[in-house]
C-alpha cells in the first residue's frame, strides 16, 4: 500500500524545485563522454560488461567478500562463477588475498569504491594486466569526484556507474572503458511503457512527499490507497515465504537481462542533466564533515572514514555499530535517516565458511554491523546536528 512517509529519507529524493532547472552544461559535458555506454541500471552495466567477456576457459570473476548482492547476481546471470577476496574492517581490499587468487581461470576482478571512497588499486593494476584479467572499478556508490568535478573510475580497465545514489533521478547506469578494452555496443531497447510509467509515478510521489502535508499530497495518497486496496481485494498479492537471494529473481536485488539490454530511461536522462550537481556536491561534503565532527565514537560505534579526502563525493556516512539490529529501528523511529548496506551476503560466499573461515567470518562481522547515515543534499546542517545528538545518546 503506498504510504506518505513522514520520516526523513536516508536517500536523496526528488523535490518539485529540482524540475525547474535548465540543462546544466557542466553536467552535460561530463555525461557526453564518448566512452560511456548507458544502461538501465548499474547491475545491467555489470551484466553487459561481464557477458561481453568471450573467454571460454576463464569463467571466474573475483568480487569483494563484503558486497551487495547486486554485484553478484549479474555475474551469475552472465554465466560466470563468483569467487571472493577479503575486505578489512575499514572496507579496504586485502591485496595479498586478492593477488593469491589471480589464477588462469579468472576473467575479471571487480573492486568497489565503497561509499565513494576510492579503493587502493595501484597494487592490482600491473598484476591484473600481466595476468590478462579485466580490472573493473565499480563506482556505483558515487559517479563523481570533486575539486574539480569529474567522473570517477579512471584507474581500472572499465568502470561501472549508478546515478541515483547522488542525484534523485531513478534507475540509470553506465559503463566506461578507460583503455585497451574492446568496446561493446550501447543497448538498443527502450524501457517498456509500464516501466516508464512506474518510474514517473515513483518520482512524482517522492516530490509530493517532499512538498509537505498539503491538500494535494493528502488527496493523492488517499486516492492511491483506495486504488491499491480495491486492487488487492480483486487480486490478493501472492505471499512469497521462500524469498531467497540465490534464486534467479533475487528479490529486491534482482538482475534481469533487460537491465543490460535496455537504454537508460528517458526520465533519468532528463533529470541528471538538469541536476544542480555543484550544490549537491558541496552539501554532501559539508554534511559529511559536520557529521564527522558531531558523532562520538564509542566502544559500540566506530566511524569507518572520519576524514573526507578533497576529491570524494560521499554517498552516505558509514559506521560499524555493535547491536545494530536492536538499535537501528529505534534510531529510525526517532527520525534518524539511516539504512544498511551489504546486510545480505550472497550464499556463494557463506558456503565458503569451511574453506575460508577467516574471510567469511570477517565479512559477516562487517555486514552485521555496518550502518549508513544519510548526508545527502536535501538534508540541512540543523538536521545533521539534531540526528547526531540522538545517535550519540544511543551509543554512549
Ligand atoms: C557496489 C554496487 N554496485 C552496483 C549496485 C547496483 O546499482 P543499481 O541499483 O543502479 O543497479 C549497487 C547497489 O547498491 C552497489 O552497491
Query: How would DSSP label each residue in 221-279?
Result: HHHHHHHHHHHHHHSPPPP-TT--TTSSS-GGG---HHHHHBPPPHHHHHHHHT--HHH
Give me the residue spans of the domains in the chain: 16-177, 277-395
* Secondary structure (H, E, C), 125-192: HHHHHHHCCEEEEECCCCCEECCCCEECCCCCCEEEEECCCCCCCCCCEEEEECCCCCCCCCCCECCC
Instruction: Summarize the confidence of residues 74-99 as an average pLDDT.
Output: 97
For domain 277-395, the question of CATH label 3.90.1150.10 is answered with yes
**Ligand 1 pocket check for 113: Cβ under 6 Å:** no
Instruction: Summarize the confidence of residues 161-171 as an average pLDDT.
Output: 96
**Ligand 1 pocket check for 42: Cβ under 6 Å:** yes
* Distance in Å, CA 46 to ligand 1 centroid: 9
pLDDT tens digit sequence for 170-196: 999 999 999 865 578 899 999 888 888
* Distance in Å, CA 11 to ligand 1 centroid: 14
* Euclidean distance between CA atoms 194 and 205, whole angstroms: 16
**Ligand 1 pocket check for 76: Cβ under 6 Å:** no
* Distance in Å, CA 245 to ligand 1 centroid: 15
Give the model's pLDDT for residue 159. Answer: 97
Quick one: pLDDT band at residue 6, thresholds 50, 70, 90? low
Give the model's pLDDT for residue 246. Answer: 47
For residue 297, give the 3-state DSSP assignment.
coil
pLDDT tens digit sequence for 13-56: 999 988 877 888 888 889 998 889 999 999 999 999 999 998 78
* Distance in Å, CA 184 to ligand 1 centroid: 20
Sheet holding 317-321, edge to edge: 301-303, 317-321, 370-373, 338-339
pLDDT tens digit sequence for 194-227: 888 989 999 999 999 998 888 888 888 889 888 8
pLDDT tens digit sequence for 306-349: 999 999 999 999 999 999 999 999 999 999 999 999 999 999 99
* Distance in Å, CA 108 to ligand 1 centroid: 18
* Distance in Å, CA 331 to ligand 1 centroid: 25
* Gap between the terminal Cα atoms of the chain: 37
* Distance in Å, CA 357 to ligand 1 centroid: 26
Give the model's pLDDT for residue 181. Answer: 58
Give the model's pLDDT for residue 229. Answer: 85
DSSP sequence for 325-384:
HHHHHHHHHTT--EE-SS-SPPHHHHGGGTTSHHHHHHHHHHHTTEEEE---TTS-HHHH
Flag whether pLDDT at 2 surpasses 60. no
Q: Considering only CA atoms, which residue is closest to atom 13 of ligand 1?
A: 70
pLDDT tens digit sequence for 357-373: 999 999 999 999 999 99
**Ligand 1 pocket check for 207: Cβ under 6 Å:** no
* Distance in Å, CA 140 to ligand 1 centroid: 5
pLDDT, mean over the chain: 91
> What CATH number is given for 16-177 in this structure?
3.40.640.10
Flag whether pLDDT at 243 surpasses 70. no
**Ligand 1 pocket check for 268: Cβ under 6 Å:** no
Question: Which of 43, 161, 268, 316 to probe ligand 1 with, by most ligand atoms within 8 A of CB?
Answer: 43
Give the percent of the chain with pLDDT over 70.
93
Question: Which of 61, 140, 159, 255 to probe ligand 1 with, by most ligand atoms within 8 A of CB?
Answer: 140
Q: Which residue bears the cell 555499530?
A: 321
Q: Considering only CA atoms, which residue is closest to atom 16 of ligand 1?
A: 68
Amino acid at each position: 500500500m503506498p504510504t506518505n512517509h513522514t520520516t526523513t529519507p536516508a536517500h536523496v529524493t526528488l523535490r518539485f524545485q529540482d524540475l525547474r532547472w535548465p540543462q546544466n552544461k557542466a553536467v552535460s559535458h561530463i555525461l557526453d563522454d564518448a566512452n560511456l555506454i548507458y544502461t538501465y541500471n548499474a547491475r545491467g552495466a555489470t551484466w553487459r560488461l561481464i557477458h561481453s567477456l568471450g573467454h571460454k576457459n576463464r569463467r571466474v570473476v573475483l568480487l569483494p567478500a563484503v558486497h551487495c548482492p547486486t554485484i553478484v547476481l549479474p555475474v551469475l546471470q552472465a554465466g560466470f562463477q563468483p569467487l571472493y577476496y577479503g575486505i578489512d574492517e575499514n572496507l579496504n581490499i586485502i591485496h595479498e588475498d586478492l593477488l593469491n587468487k589471480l589464477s588462469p581461470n579468472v576473467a575479471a576482478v571487480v573492486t568497489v569504491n565503497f561509499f565513494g571512497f576510492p579503493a587502493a588499486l595501484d597494487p592490482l593494476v600491473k598484476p591484473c594486466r600481466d595476468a590478462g584479467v579485466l580490472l573493473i572499478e565499480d563506482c556505483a556508490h558515487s559517479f563523481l569526484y570533486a575539486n574539480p568535478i569529474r567522473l570517477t573510475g579512471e584507474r581500472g580497465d572499465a568502470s561501472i556507474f549508478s546515478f541515483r545514489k547522488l542525484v534523485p533521478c531513478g534507475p540509470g547506469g553506465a559503463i566506461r572503458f578507460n583503455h585497451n578494452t574492446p568496446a561493446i555496443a550501447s543497448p538498443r531497447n527502450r524501457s517498456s511503457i509500464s516501466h516508464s510509467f512506474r518510474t514517473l509515478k515513483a518520482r512524482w510521489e517522492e516530490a509530493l512527499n517532499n512538498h509537505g502535508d498539503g491538500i494535494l499530497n493528502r488527496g493523492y495518497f488517499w486516492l492511491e490507497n483506495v486504488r491499491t486496496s480495491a486492487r488487492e481485494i480483486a487480486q490478493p498479492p501472492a505471499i512469497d515465504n521462500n524469498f531467497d537471494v540465490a534464486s534467479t529473481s533475487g528479490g529486491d536485488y534482482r538482475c534481469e537481462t533487460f537491465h543490460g539490454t535496455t537504454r537508460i530511461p528517458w526520465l533519468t536522462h532528463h533529470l541528471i542533466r538538469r541536476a544542480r550537481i555543484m550544490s549537491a556536491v558541496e552539501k554532501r561534503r559539508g554534511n559529511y564533515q559536520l557529521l564527522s565532527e558531531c558523532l562520538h565514537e564509542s566502544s559500540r560505534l566506530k566511524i569507518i572514514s572520519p576524514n573526507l579526502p578533497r576529491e570524494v563525493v560521499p554517498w552516505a556516512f558509514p559506521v560499524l555499530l555493535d547491536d545494530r539490529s536492536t538499535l537501528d529501528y529505534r534510531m529510525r523511529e526517532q527520525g534518524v535517516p539511516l539504512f544498511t548496506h551489504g546486510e545480505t551476503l550472497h550464499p556463494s560466499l557463506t558456503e565458503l565458511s569451511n574453506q575460508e573461515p577467516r574471510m567469511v567470518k570477517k565479512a559477516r562481522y562487517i555486514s552485521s554491523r555496518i550502518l549508513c547515515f544519510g548526508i545527502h543534499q536535501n538534508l540541512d546542517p540543523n538536521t545533521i546536528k539534531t540526528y547526531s545528538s540522538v545517535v550519540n545518546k544511543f551509543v554512549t
